A and B are shown apart, each in its own frame.
Chain A
């Protein structure tokens, strides 16, 4: 497997102003993330709101520079690459199709944009490519002259997908591409993405908090918590035997279709920590049901074995050791 995109110890922090005279503070939205996207795979990134998934996505797209660390696309540092070079290879699909399409432009113009700005094809070629791509995502030619306001949410997301794929990029980064859609439309969009992936051989980074979707489509899953990757594994292995307590809680929290079972108890409590003031040691320790002695003072060790990555004191212990919290 060749590595298409690689993030090496990537951090992104923001200055947060809390008033005129209060000192500014740094918020680490993404804190030392390393991961590699292999060619042809679907890497899912999961985690609750505010864990830094979307910030990471914006950095992988080259829209936001990393505060430290580096992102390499096809072995080349992204900072050294031109905007158009990155655009040709990586494209996004955003969450909300109601804000990702310019309401003042026609569907064909929106889809043709990535090809048009490359400046290598004339207007007629761009338009033909856009129409062809619209056809591929299931929108016949009569939609080409429409404006986004005339389309439904599912149709708009098809347009966004067509725009992302019109240049046949190697990598598409989907930031929760189905979570703004009706349940009935979600599966259509997912199937469309999978069809296109098969036809074009596109690699996907798939950000989601819908675990059922992730289990269904992803080849590997990275679990993020408070700006860090806490567990990364093959999808089947992760869902069968999650090793990080946070992953375990996340999987336990997934709703089952069985109404009699009620709403699952996560054992996490409600307190998502303040990202401005992250807990010392393991960021997850205040909510962790398996907390042990070093958790609140030492950063957890990163265990790598058999293609898996877990950052946890508890998981690092030899099995069978008795633990007193």
Chain B
């Protein structure tokens, strides 16, 4: 028996581990590389803000209002990105503002990811009535405009960083749920799930160990997209005065405060705007790259 069995099994598996393969694919993906480098720079700069920012982001100096950035004629090295209408150092505010954006992106992603992925997994795995009920909840959620809900909530309990995170986190799970539901439905029908059932594995175990790892690539991609969109929404809410309240240095709030000076001091709006655009671009590049890189066996 051994001889015959060996004949069919002779070829050794390739030596490359999955991790090494993943690493190699990541290095070969230009978009992912660009996004990852940009994103790490932004994260690093924001986290190091307490040490590298030249001034206190809240310190006002009305004698030094509206100093333009150094590439303008009247620029000063003391304020590389100039100062705003209250004389606060703009570079310091942009760096600290990055922390707020990243905090919001991350926490909204986690909260909405847990809600959405849980609902999507349950709907896709169990199907039937549970699927119908969850699909109804998703549809109901999709009928609620985020900005209107934010308006109502802020009107009742006034805006703050925590309120923004909760509003976005409790509302932005719809895409997680939709994507996880269809990805789970696909995996649910595969034979390895049936094999695990036939082996007697419990339902939570099958969902966590057989299904979840195989829908993780889609989950990660949605998570990056949602983080980027949460950051943009926070900026939009803060711009409308519904989000983070002054004097916190949020990028959206900075754009809002600068809109009155847009025609004479355009940098006030252009600098936080560019920071926002770069961060969202970086996250989306990383997300797109991960989608390509994480496809199992290189098959997209």
Contact = CB atoms under 8 A, between A and B. Distances in A.
Interface stretch (A113-121, A247-255, A276-284): A113-121
Nearest to B203: A83
A101 B195 CA distance: 8
A139 B214 contact: no
Contacts of A105: 209, 213
Given A94-B195, A138-B5, A188-B7, A113 B14 contact: no
A213 to B, nearest CB: 17
A76 interface: no
B13 A150 contact: yes
Contact of A84 (B6, B200, B209, B214): B200
Interface residues of A, number: 50
A117 B205 CA distance: 9
A160 interface: yes
Contact of A91 (B190, B198, B202, B214): B198
Interface residues of B, number: 32
B220 to A, nearest CB: 13
A100 B296 contact: no
Contacts of A188: 4-5, 7-8
A200 B9 CA distance: 21
Interface string B1-35: 11011111101111000100000000000000000
A83 B195 contact: no
Interface stretch (A151-159, A256-264, A295-303): A151-159
Given A63-B194, A104-B214, A147-B18, A88 B200 contact: yes
Nearest to B211: A102
A311 B1 CA distance: 41
Contact of A90 (B192, B198, B205): B198
B9 A138 contact: yes
Contacts of B199: 87, 91, 113-114, 117, 163
B191 A99 contact: yes
Contact of B198 (A62, A151, A192): A62
Given A114-B200, A149-B296, A195-B1, A100 B9 contact: no
A104 B210 CA distance: 8
B216 to A, nearest CB: 8
Given A62-B198, A84-B200, A88-B200, A138 B8 contact: yes
Contacts of B8: 138, 154-155, 158, 185, 188-189
Given A91-B198, A113-B199, 11 more contacts: A63-B197, A99-B190, A102-B192, A102-B214, A104-B213, A104-B296, A138-B4, A143-B13, A188-B5, A191-B4, A192-B1
Interface of A: 58, 61-63, 83-84, 86-88, 90-92, 94-96, 99-105, 113-114, 117-118, 137-140, 142-143, 146-147, 149-152, 154-155, 158, 160, 163, 185, 188-189, 191-192, 195, 199
Interface of B: 1-2, 4-9, 11-14, 18, 190-192, 194-202, 205, 209-210, 213-214, 296-297
